[in-house]
Amino acid sequence: MKTIRTIAGAALAVTLALPASAQEVIRAVTAFPSQLAFSQSFLGFVDLVNERGEGVVRIDYIGGPEAIPQNQQLDAAARGVVDMHYGPASFHLGTMPEADAWVGSTVTSMEARENGGFAIMQEAFADRLGVELLAHIDSGIQFHIYTVDEPGRAEDGTLALDGARLRSQPIYKSFFETLGAVPISVPVPDVYTGLERNTFDGAGWPIVAIQDLSWDKFLKYRVDPGFFQTDLAVVMNPAKWEGLSAEAQEILTQAAADYEQISYDNFQKVIADTDAKVQDEGMTVITLEGAAREAFLDAAYDSAWSRMEAAGTDRYDALRDAYYDR
């Protein structure tokens, strides 16, 4: 999706023409295939660093899951097989319950840098996962429930999904269960076939990526409001980070903070464009209002924060203060 990088103002080659010895080189992988909007956004970050770091530091993108399997990438970064990784923090909820602070966040990543939340998350990533957290990019993108057929509504206007089979993932499994749905966990590449074969009645997914995978061919209804927030982290191998020059570290640190704002702004436009396009192409939006809307959102956010609290972390109170203001 070339537009993401274009919006970022980065029509630059990832590999510069300077000798490798003139620069410190960082090898990076992404959790998603390169054609997805999220990976394209990360490549905008790569371009930004390579522009600012010319002659000092360079990121070489070596690929997505085809280079290293998705479930092995974070460990590969921690062990130094690769130097940098971009992907969802919530993939590691079992090891780092603090990831739910980003899932259940109601503030932007820029606000969290200002209020101290990001610094707490840096501690959590280091302690729990053994990596150096550089950025929480692509924030401000919410998830939605999509369905093949029109979802049911109770007399009070609340959503009625009793028995609906929804493609799920750990971050919203318990939330879907509170709605009466049956969560089904399958890898993203298998969802299209599942929809084609009527294995699912719907799915949870971020609004910006629904067309990247052509799921909108089957999913004709979207439930508003959106809930949760994208939790995409850029992390580095600690030894690689410590081995960089002070100048390279400064370039990366500033580019990371700047790109949080750049990617947020970019995706707000993509969200608006995607919303208009899917509705023009026949998707119907089911909008919850009033008490039904508040009950829906309370159930969503409570599921994330309750999960973190139950998992146990002495960072819970500080993270809730920094990331949640509903």
Per-residue pLDDT tens for 130-169?
999 999 999 999 999 999 999 999 989 999 999 999 999 8
pLDDT at 12: 43
Band of the pLDDT at 18, cuts 50, 70, 90? very low
Do 209 and 307 sit in the same domain of this protein? yes
Band of the pLDDT at 22, cuts 50, 70, 90? low
Please tell me the distance from the alpha carbon of residue 98 to that of residue 320, in angstroms, as a whole number.
10
Do 27 and 69 sit in the same domain of this protein? yes
Residue 19 maps to a domain: yes
Residue 158 maps to a domain: yes
**What does residue 218 show for φ and ψ, rounded to 5 degrees?**
-110, -35
Do 27 and 41 sit in the same domain of this protein? yes
CA distances from 211 to 35, 176, 312 (A): 12, 22, 37
Do 165 and 77 sit in the same domain of this protein? no
User: Is the pLDDT confidence value at 11 over 50?
Assistant: no
User: Is the pLDDT confidence value at 35 over 70?
Assistant: yes
Do 133 and 148 sit in the same domain of this protein? no
Query: Average per-residue pLDDT in the chain?
Result: 92
User: Is the pLDDT confidence value at 79 over 80?
Assistant: yes
User: Is the pLDDT confidence value at 10 over 50?
Assistant: no
pLDDT at 188: 82
Name the pTM for this structure: 0.89
Do 291 and 313 sit in the same domain of this protein? yes
Q: What is the CATH number of the domain that holds 131?
A: 3.40.190.170
pLDDT at 90: 95
Number of structural domains the chain divides into = 2
Q: What percent of the chain has pLDDT over 70?
A: 93
Do 98 and 136 sit in the same domain of this protein? yes
Do 57 and 168 sit in the same domain of this protein? no
Residue 20 maps to a domain: yes
Band of the pLDDT at 208, cuts 50, 70, 90? confident
Per-residue pLDDT tens for 266-315?
999 999 999 999 999 999 999 999 999 999 999 999 999 999 999 999 99
User: Is the pLDDT confidence value at 242 over 90?
Assistant: yes
Residue 275 maps to a domain: no
Q: What is the mean pLDDT of residues 53-58?
A: 97
Residue 277 maps to a domain: no
Do 85 and 207 sit in the same domain of this protein? no
pLDDT at 316: 98
Band of the pLDDT at 4, cuts 50, 70, 90? low
User: Is the pLDDT confidence value at 193 over 70?
Assistant: yes
User: Is the pLDDT confidence value at 256 over 90?
Assistant: yes
Do 99 and 248 sit in the same domain of this protein? yes
Which of 60, 7, 68 lies closest to 208, judged by CA?
7
Residue 195 maps to a domain: yes
Alpha helices (H) in the chain, listed in sequence order: 2-7, 37-52, 73-79, 100-103, 109-115, 117-124, 170-178, 191-196, 238-243, 246-280, 290-311, 316-323
Per-residue pLDDT tens for 89-146?
999 999 999 999 999 999 999 999 999 999 999 999 999 999 999 999 999 999 999 9
Do 202 and 244 sit in the same domain of this protein? no
pLDDT at 186: 87
- Parent domain of 182: 143-228+282-321
Band of the pLDDT at 19, cuts 50, 70, 90? very low
What is the gyration radius of the CA atoms in the chain, in angstroms? Answer: 20
Contacts of 94 (CB under 8 A, 6+ apart): none
Residue 85 maps to a domain: yes
Do 165 and 236 sit in the same domain of this protein? no
Residue 93 maps to a domain: yes
Please tell me the distance from the alpha carbon of residue 176 to that of residue 106, in angstroms, as a whole number.
19
